[in-house]
Structure 1
């Protein structure tokens, strides 16, 4: 079962290190309470853990990094309230990942703030809100994305599905907002191009974080005769969906964006083995001993799994940019981050200057038992099925970046 989320005092600041004038604050604006907290809390703990490592290695241009947790309950308006609180507290770096509706609001608000307040600019580091528009028609100089966007992920996922001749019928189920709609659109278009013989036998949308029982949806999937299911669901919406499928006895495999989310392996157990697939920037076990050590330490210290490798990449790139610019001013850091290359445990990643969309290798993995490192204290985790090189993941952009003078 998901661990209980303890009461979060929104007025309090949960920090890493000791606050001082020499501290750079990074505010996480994400769900830290409520039904989607199992997506936000692991990110918060991961950031705090990695900030300690960054600080032990000189911080950001000699300044300590301080993580501030702000609960937005996956609500765009509440996110704007928390953004203003952060700015009033001297925060000039913001990160967020859960909910493209939230990301959309933050991009617009930060654009306006920076236009109106020269010298007090804020930089938005997006670790998981993957609506393709944010690095295409809505690209912003003040926004950098550290996760592959929905189209990049679907391009890799549909290549894998298209190579499987046993898949003839596909069912789509997604959350009813911009991200879920983008996932559905990309799946339909890419499968039509790569495997025109595949039939889309269902295309359902459901409210975000509102459905408590997915059995009616699973019944429709079963009746459709689908050979596979594609979903971009995250948080409790993916956990409850795959749980309902397992309890119903649906045998069709699920191809997911977030199938390794907190709670999935504990909810499914043996019923998830060889059935839940995920496209992500890494899989369940690190081959690099240093990363494996950090994976173990994070769980021992915070009882959350090392799910967000991209957060480690984000902080490493933030440090490299600040050190290279010899400054922690967001204007200088943004300039240094454009086009930056960084060697990671899975290979080299590049922050494309053209649209501020990270270019990185991706992995398709499937849930397995008897793994050396088990997720959530179990023996289950996700094992690599395929590696997709950075060049194959990359897609062109329509971004026309407006840069500050």
Structure 2
């Protein structure tokens, strides 16, 4: 994984060096650290926020929901006068869920002086490919779903993320399997990318802490493989009590559907929010999902006022669907940017302001977000840790909330968090 990450970062750094970015303030520039005023990064009465996400290909549903979340937040802000009198405009570019394309998208945003900040990319690999380019430009980029622990371990000043890092999410999955379900033997299925590898590493550490036997670990190449019968046959022979699955809705749906066809209908699966898309149900079939549990940090069924309002807006556009976490957190990021700007952040120091690193600034706390009523970020750019809730799929084919409280007792969280 380290070799793969190094090559991606090298490509992105080369692009950053070969092509100058529109905003010439570097990551070490004095204006970024001093809190001094800068150009608005907008055109006239418009505040432009970029979003890089997959809008074509097999991950298009993922990106379309990210874009929709950002647009809903912009519409809401504009209906209330905008941000300091400026109307918010979302500018979306297609990164095709590909790291090379993500780097090109980042360069395109940097070349556009009107872009104030960016909602950066769905996948961790894509975010890591784009991050050096944003960093060279001093352009704030905030990720709604890039949970790989490595994302905020690179020292980037201008990168922030609005999702709980995986080394705090995977322990919830394994803790649930050991403590809530009482399993003794588990298997792990994971995507062969930064997100999947990180979840695997953390899961193995937590399983060892809890005395869980991991009888099988199987990986796949996302966007490439469609036949998972060999992988599933190996796991079936290992006879686990349950399976942790770190996959998105596309491969996750195919894996769960094929497992059901192979006679694994009684197997318990535990996954994460990356599965909570209607497309999962279409691919797997309702019957194949009755023993699936999904941990989420955004619960669309919450009775909190910001969530209720957001759900009304979302379902007016997408009736019968539930929003994904990247959709909800893209919505949140637009709100975070707006609140920070209204509190005094500039284009040059926006990321540092959100992290509370601008000298003499008042402590920045974002309020009334879908992630929580009060949200802060640490100096690395990681959002304040919080617990998870659990969703399932009903026999009627709908995602439903549960009252399950995940038990993480016996887990040394500090021992697994980077």
Please indicate the TM-score interval, normalised by the length of the shorter structure: 0.7 to 0.9
From the superposition, tell whether residues 334 and 60 of structure 1 become closer, same or farther in structure 2 (CA, over 3 Å): farther
Partner of 1:306: 323
In structure 2, distance between residues paired with 1:157 and 1:398: 15
1:107 matches 2:122: no
1:383 matches 2:397: no
| Structure 1, gaps ≥5 residues long | 1-18, 114-120, 371-377, 400-405
- Using structure 2 for the length normalisation, give the TM-score: 0.78
Displacement of 1:269 in angstroms is 4.7
Partner of 1:248: 262
Displacement of 1:280 in angstroms is 1.5
Question: What aligned pairs does 1:193-208 form with structure 2 within 5 A after superposition?
Answer: 193=209, 195-196=210-211, 198-208=212-222
| Structure 2, gaps ≥5 residues long | 1-41, 357-362
In structure 1, distance between residues paired with 2:248 and 2:391: 17
1:160 matches 2:173: no
In structure 2, distance between residues paired with 1:307 and 1:253: 22
Query: Which of residues 124, 127, 141 is equivalent to 1:124?
Result: 141
Partner of 1:7: none
* Contact 2:205–2:416 (Cα < 8 Å) also in 1: no
Displacement of 1:291 in angstroms is 2.7
Partner of 1:375: none
Query: Which of residues 324, 333, 343 is equivalent to 1:324?
Result: 343
Deviations 1:102-145 (A, max 9, x none): 111111222223xxxxxxx3101111111102223x13210111
Displacement of 1:203 in angstroms is 1.1
* Contact 1:131–1:182 (Cα < 8 Å) also in 2: yes
Deviations 1:321-353 (A, max 9, x none): 11111x542414631553633344564443233
In the TM superposition, structure 1's runs of 4+ consecutive aligned residues that sit over 4 Å from their partners are 392-399
Partner of 1:355: 380
Displacement of 1:69 in angstroms is 1.4
SS in 2 for 1:92: strand
In structure 2, distance between residues paired with 1:284 and 1:144: 23
Displacement of 1:275 in angstroms is 1.4
Partner of 1:14: none
* Contact 2:187–2:217 (Cα < 8 Å) also in 1: yes
SS in 1 for 2:163: coil
Partner of 1:11: none
Partner of 2:27: none
Instruction: Give the structure, 1 or 2, with the largest relative contact order (CA under 8 Å, sep 6 or more).
Output: 2
Displacement of 1:230 in angstroms is 1.0
1:220 matches 2:234: yes
In structure 2, distance between residues paired with 1:397 and 1:219: 31
Partner of 1:16: none
SS in 2 for 1:357: coil
How many residues were matched structurally?
362
* Contact 1:170–1:229 (Cα < 8 Å) also in 2: yes
* Contact 2:392–2:402 (Cα < 8 Å) also in 1: no
Partner of 2:120: 96
Deviations 1:217-256 (A, max 9, x none): 2222222111111122114122222222233231221111
In structure 2, distance between residues paired with 1:384 and 1:139: 38
* Contact 1:97–1:126 (Cα < 8 Å) also in 2: yes
